[in-house]
Chain A
Amino acid sequence: MDDLQIINLYWARSENAILETSRKYGPYCRSIAYGILRSEEDSEECVNDTWLRAWDAMPPHRPASLRAFLGRITRNLSLNRLKALSAEKRGGSQVTLAVEELGESIPAPGGVERTVEDRELAELFDRFLSQLGPEARRIFVRRYWYLSPIGEIAAEYGMSESKVKISLLRSRGKLKKLLEKEGITL
């Protein structure tokens, strides 16, 4: 079923909306949730909650990209759940690593600095991504949006793990420069 039909099912409040969404985007959302939580049970709950959020949002929302819309909800729910689980030391090794890696992009204090709202920062991320080459961009998004392990990215893109790491290192360096250039502090 194509995305427009699925969105129409939500607007019609059809019970098939969630069924068809789960059918088409279940693996996609589950891979995002599992990548973050590393727990089938927790991932399952986040994915189920994603369908419910989608049900709440449509109508009035009509997402331009259903895949990205659902993926974004799953990612947010999974990261929130991870915070709740962190006290129990469950899951999240990829997130921990990704957080540490991203930390390298944060400029050191000094110079002219300003704080920014999340929205502005997201726009800056978009600008940063637009300046990367297609391959480097996909690798960066896979690592820090989908939180995929390095090995998985390397396998999918047919390259060595070290090449993925180098690509990420260079991209993080570019992000750091951009943040510095904009004088942004976090």
Chain B
Amino acid sequence: MKEERLLTVFGGISDGYIEESAPGRGRKTGSVRRKWGMLAACLCLAAAAAFAVLRAMPWSAGLSADPQDRLLAAIRTDGILLDAQILTELPVMGRVAVYEQLFPPGYYVSETAPPPGSGARLEAFLGQLFLDDGEKVWYRVKDMKELKYLISRDRDGELKLWEFHSFVVLDGLLARLRAVEASEQELADAEDAIRQRWLDADLTPYTYGEVYRMVFAVESAEDLAYIVASPSTANNQPLGLEIQKQVGTHRFNDREVISRFYDATANVVCFGRSNQVGFRDYRYSYSFSTDAANKLDSGEETWATRYLRVVLPSGTSIDRWKYSALSGSFYEFDGIATEPLPEETVSMLNEIFGIE
């Protein structure tokens, strides 16, 4: 059909026209497409807008008694939760926590501000006062003891929902700046600004045990209800789908398994938002390994990766973690890097998740 051909061939127009017309570029927000210098400035600012992400949340959209589900339902649209990487930093128990804003319905694409008044439904979830940083007043979420989510109220009364992202690690931030070719002077200025802003804060690498304790009120394995492991969905070609089917999604309720998992994760060293570990070698060989350089197409990546969801007795879940047997380490969205695990820990986790 001629009309369809026109539409199809129109797909071949020049990149520049596609770029300039991308959704979200119609409005000027003054906070987009920052170059590295702006990135350095962002490290010192309360909020940093970079780019937007959209994530299909792993839990179902069904009604639930859990505070987390009800909270997210308040800003969910059509079963998909939209979140954007607008980050802010807050002092939490001697460290600097990075929180990421989650967006309400109506906000679909990057680089535009969410519509005013769209956070109104969050009013019902306001809990105890957590912090007043001069720009925003921060509240815990009602009926939720964890600090996974916080609600902020701007000076104009607008409510926003935030999710814990990571802790600030100075070396990790500097590594990100080096990756965009900052000069030594610029690095020194950035470090100075960060240290001055967070005078007494601990900016060294942290263990995930600290995240468990400070953010999720988890002190031991007893505070974890169960773990769900599902296969990587990066390869949706026939082979990848077949492997996903074979791997399947498994729920682990066994206390011994949970205890071993907790011990393995509580000691993991995290580097925050860092590019330091961007080019890791594959460290382990398995029976399923091939010589293929392309571990995704070969299916090994799907075999060896598990998306993890750790659920607490309250129903709140820790769902950003992934485990890769190929690199022998955990990793999170947004390049949150962790130290590779000892070989015996890798073996133990592989046994739990059935990776061999």
Asked whether A and B interact, the reply is yes
- CB-defined interface of B1-36 with A at 8 Å, one 1/0 digit per residue? 111111111111111111111111111000000000
Distance in Å: Cβ of A77 to nearest Cβ of chain B: 11
A27 contacts B52, C-beta separation under 8 Å: yes
Would A13 and B295 be within 8 Å (CB), given that A20-B335, A118-B9 are in contact? Answer: yes
- A28 near B109 with CB under 8 A, answer yes
Which A residues are CB-close (under 8 A) to B13? 122, 125-126, 129, 141, 145
Residue of B nearest to A25 (CB): B51
- Contacts of B15 on A, CB cut-off 8 Å? 63-65, 68-69
**Chain A 121-147: CB-based contact to B (< 8 A → 1; otherwise 0):** 110011001000010011001101110
Counting CB contacts under 8 A, is B326 at the interface? yes
- Chain A: residues with Cβ within 8 Å of the partner, total of 70
**Are the C-beta atoms of B297 and A56 separated by less than 8 Å?**
yes
With A13-B294, A145-B21 as given contacts, are A23 and B26 in contact (CB-CB < 8 Å)? Answer: no
Q: Find out whether the CB atom of A27 lies under 8 angstroms from the CB atom of B110.
A: yes
Q: Mark A77-101, 1 if CB is under 8 A from B, else 0.
A: 0010000000000000001001110
Choose, from B78-86, B124-132, B260-268, B345-353, the stretch at the interface: B78-86
With a cutoff of 8 Å between Cβ atoms, the chain A residues found around residue B335 in the complex are 1, 16, 19-20, 23
B337 CB to closest chain A CB (Å) equals 9
In the complex, the answer to whether B21 meets A138 with C-beta atoms within 8 Å is yes
Q: How far apart are B22's CB and chain A's nearest CB, in angstroms?
A: 7
What would be 23 A-B contacts, judged by CB atoms less than 8 Å apart? A15-B327, A22-B53, A27-B52, A28-B23, A48-B233, A52-B236, A52-B296, A55-B294, A63-B15, A72-B18, A95-B7, A99-B1, A100-B3, A103-B2, A121-B6, A126-B14, A126-B17, A129-B17, A137-B20, A142-B21, A142-B23, A145-B18, A156-B26
Could you list which residues of chain A lie within 8 angstroms of chain B, going by C-beta atoms? 1-2, 5, 9, 12-16, 18-20, 22-24, 26-28, 30-31, 40, 44-45, 48-49, 51-52, 55-56, 63-65, 67-69, 71-72, 75-76, 79, 95, 98-100, 102-103, 105-106, 118-119, 121-122, 125-126, 129, 134, 137-138, 141-142, 144-146, 148, 152-153, 156-158, 186
Q: A14-B280, A31-B109 are in contact. List 17 more A-B contacts (CB 8 A).
A: A16-B335, A23-B51, A27-B109, A28-B110, A51-B234, A52-B234, A65-B18, A67-B22, A68-B16, A95-B7, A98-B7, A103-B3, A118-B8, A121-B6, A138-B26, A145-B11, A152-B23
